[in-house]
Structure 1
Amino acid sequence: MPHKLPHLLFDFGGVIINIDYNRTLEAMRRFGSGIEFTQAAQAGLFDELETGQLTPTQFRTGLREHYQLTATDEQLDAAWNAMLLDVPAERLALIAELRAQGYQTALLSNTNHLHITEINRRLQQQYGLRNGIADCLDRVFYSQEVGMRKPGEEIFRHALDQMNWKAEETLFIEDSPQHIATARRLGLHTLFLTPPLTLQDALPAAIRAFSA
C-alpha cells in the first residue's frame, strides 16, 4: 500500500513560478543571434551555469563569445531574467496549507545564481519572504549548489537521500516530460503539470489519487 501522506517534491519553474522562455530568447536576440535555449534542451553554456561550473561573470563572457552579443552586464542579466514571470499567491497558499496538514515538502530545481537571486528578491519584496522560496518549503535543492541537474538520476537520488524519503512515498510535480520520465524510472509518483493545468487545480486531485 502506498504511503497515505505523500511527500511532495516540487519543480520551481512552470510549477510554482510562471515562466516564458520566449521572453529571454527575444530579449537576447536584440543583442545578437543564434541563442539556443528551450525547456527540453539547452546549450552547454546554460548547463554549466545551472550546475555551478560557471560564475555569472563567466556566463556573461560566454554569451558574448559564443553568440557574438553586444550588451552590458545589466542588459544581459535583464534579458536572462526576462523569462521569470510571477509567483501566484494562491500557489504559495496551497503549499502552506499542505505543510500545515503535515505534508513534507521540498523543491528540486534546475536554476542558477542569477535567476534564484532575482526570484527571491521579488518574493521578499512582494510577500515578505526573507529567504525567498526557501521560507515556503522544508528544503530546497538548487542544481547550481549540488552540482547536478535534472533529468539526471543523481540529483533525484540526492534529494531523496537528504530528505530520507522513499521514492514510492514521494509525489514529484513537474512540467518537463524528460524530468517526469526520470522520476518514474526511479519509482516516484508523478504529476505532469501541463497547461492549462495549474498547481492548485491539479495537485489536490493527484494527492487524493495517490492515497486511494
Structure 2
Amino acid sequence: MSKPIKNIIFDLGGVFLNIDFQLTNKAFIDLGVNGFNEMFTQHFSNPLFELLETGKINEEEFYKAFRQESKTTLTNAQIKTAWNALLLDFPAERIDWLQQISKKYRIFLFSNTNQIHYDCFIEKFKKQYPGVDFDRLFIKAYYSQNLGLRKPYPASFQAILDEQELEARETLFIDDTIKNVEAAQALGLQTIHLAHPLTVLDLSL
C-alpha cells in the first residue's frame, strides 16, 4: 500500500515548459548539420551533451566541441540560437496550477538541462510573468548542470532525497520521459509518467 504523498518532484520540459525537439533538429539541419537527431533526442544524448548537462564543460567549450563533432564552422551565436529553438512557452494555466499545488505539498523541480537553456527559458519566463521568480515557485529547483548529476542515474534522485531529507515512499516524481520515471520507481518513489497529450491539469492530486 502506497504511503500518502507529502512531496512532489517535478520535471520541467514537457511538464511546465512546452518543448519541441524537432525545432532544434530543424534549426541545425538548416545550418547544414546533418544527423543532429542522432546526436541528441529526448531519450538519448551524445556524451558531449551529457558533459554540458552535468556542468563538466562550460558554454564556450560546448560550442568548440560542437563544431568539432559536427564538422562545421558555425558561430557561437548560430549554435546557441538553434540549440535554444526547442524551448517554447510556459502555459499560464500550468503555472497557476503549480501555485495551487504548492499549498498542498512540498514541491521541488528536477530538470536535465544546461546553463545555455536555463538562461533562455528563465528569460522567457520573466517576460511572461514579470516580477515572478520561477525557481522560487519550488522549495528548491534542481538543475543537472548545478547538481553535477542527471536523470536517469539513481545517484541524482538520491542526492535530492538526502539533501531534503525526503522519504522516497512519500515522494511523487512526475516526468514525461519513461526511463526517468522507471529510475525513480526503482528507488521507491511513487511516479507518474506524464505522456503526451497528458498535462499536469489532467492529474488528480
Q: Which amino acid aligns with 1:62?
A: A
What is the CA-CA distance between 1:30 and the residue it aligns to?
2.1
Partner secondary structure for residue 110 of structure 2: strand
Q: Which residue of structure 2 aligns with residue 210 of structure 1?
A: none
Q: Given that residues 84 and 119 in structure 1 are in contact (C-alpha distance below 8 angstroms), is that contact kept between their aligned partners in structure 2?
A: yes
Q: Does residue 138 in structure 1 map to residue 139 in structure 2?
A: yes
User: Map of 1:1-212 to 2, 5 A cutoff?
Assistant: 2-31=2-31, 32-35=33-36, 36-101=39-104, 103-129=105-131, 131=133, 133-201=134-202, 203-204=203-204, 207=205
Q: Secondary structure at the match of 2:118?
A: helix
Measured in 1, the distance between the counterparts of 2:11 and 2:29 equals: 28
Contact 1:6 1:170 in 2 (8 A): yes
Find the aligned partners of 2:69 and 2:132 in 1 and give their Cα distance: 36
Normalising by structure 1, what TM-score?
A: 0.91
1:69 deviates by 2.4
In the TM superposition, what whole-angstrom CA distance separates every residue of 1:11-70 from its partner, at most 9, and x where no partner exists? 011111111111111111222223211111110110000000111111111111110123
C-alpha root-mean-square deviation of aligned residues, in Å?
1.3
AA aligned to 1:66 is E
Q: Which runs of 5+ in 1 are unaligned?
A: 208-212
Partner of 1:145: helix, strand, or coil? helix
Give distance in 1, aligned partners of 2:131 and 2:150: 26
Alpha-carbon separation, structure 2, partners of 1:198 and 1:172: 14
After TM superposition, the score normalised by the length of structure 2 is 0.94
- What's the offset of the Cα at 1:129? 4.4
Q: Contact 1:129 / 1:135 at 8 angstroms: preserved in 2?
A: no
SS in 2 for 1:108: strand
* 1:106-126 per-position Cα deviation (integer Å, ceiling 9, x unaligned): 001100000011111111111
SS in 2 for 1:100: coil
Determine the C-alpha separation between the residues in 1 that align with 2:126 and 2:53.
Answer: 23
- 1:123 touches 1:129 (CA, 8 Å); kept in 2? no
- Aligned-pair CA distance for 1:130: 5.1
Tell me the number of residue pairs that the alignment of Structure 1 and Structure 2 aligns: 202
Unpaired stretches in structure 2, ≥5 consecutive residues: none
CA distance in 1, matches of 2:132, 2:59: 23
Q: Deviations over 1:59-87 (max 9, x none)?
A: 11111111012322111111000000111
1:148 positional shift: 0.6
Task: Give the secondary structure class of the aligned counterpart of 1:18.
Answer: coil
Q: Distance in 1 between matches of 2:44 and 2:193?
A: 18
